[in-house]
Structure 1
Amino acid sequence: MNTIRPIHTNEDYQLALKEIARLVDLDPAVGAIEGDKLEVLATLVEVYEAKHYPMTLPDPIEAIKFSMETHGLRPADMANYFGSPSKTSEVLNRHRRLSITMIRKLHKGLGMPLEVLVQDVALS
């Protein structure tokens, strides 16, 4: 790929990925031109992927359970975020929706993304 151009098709996308792989494998001493080319191609690929392969957000309850697991927390440890052990159980078992207060506490205390937490939760 000698020139950089927009990525419109899957073929363009594949060529850009190959060129990125080639540029990454080069010796860093090759120069700033290759570094600039790599940066531009990576940006173009990122835009193409965002449009054609959008990432979906995880389910809020599953995300909370994952966060609990990664932080080594048990349901009993979550009362500070949900208000009480019974509310914790209700939320984790999909019998209660997250409140704004819960969302704020989970975001601030566990660093959970707001865009994940504000999604609608299917209740059982």
Structure 2
Amino acid sequence: MKTTVDIERLVHCWEPLENLFHIRTRDEYENAVKILNMLLDRVMDDQSHPLFGFVETLGTVIEAWEEEHESVPPVSGKEMLRFLMDQHNLRQSDLPEVGSQGVVSEILAGNRSLNLRQIQALARRFGVLKHIFL
């Protein structure tokens, strides 16, 4: 299969996205995170969505910037969930947006990962950015 690329159209599409993929400042980083959160709201975990690869790529770029510029040690999604539960004095059964008490238990034990629907619900509940659970 032969693929042709319209370079002028590619340049036109690339210019507004360039700062997302070459994050140099805190403002650019915060903008990229904001856009990633909007994309996650739309794409969720639908791997067939046309923007799914874009979400993965942008997430990787943001993660690389954070590793280079943030001094906070990396925390897993389950560790962040456990921390927020402790801070808000919640039990596993207090999180119906994640699933049953058994589902929450499996996540906290590391036997199950948070999916994008759960991440979005937790971000809304705790008023935090979605990427802290990734």
Interval of TM-score (by shorter of Structure 1 and Structure 2):
0.3 to 0.5
Q: TM-score, normalised by structure 2?
A: 0.44
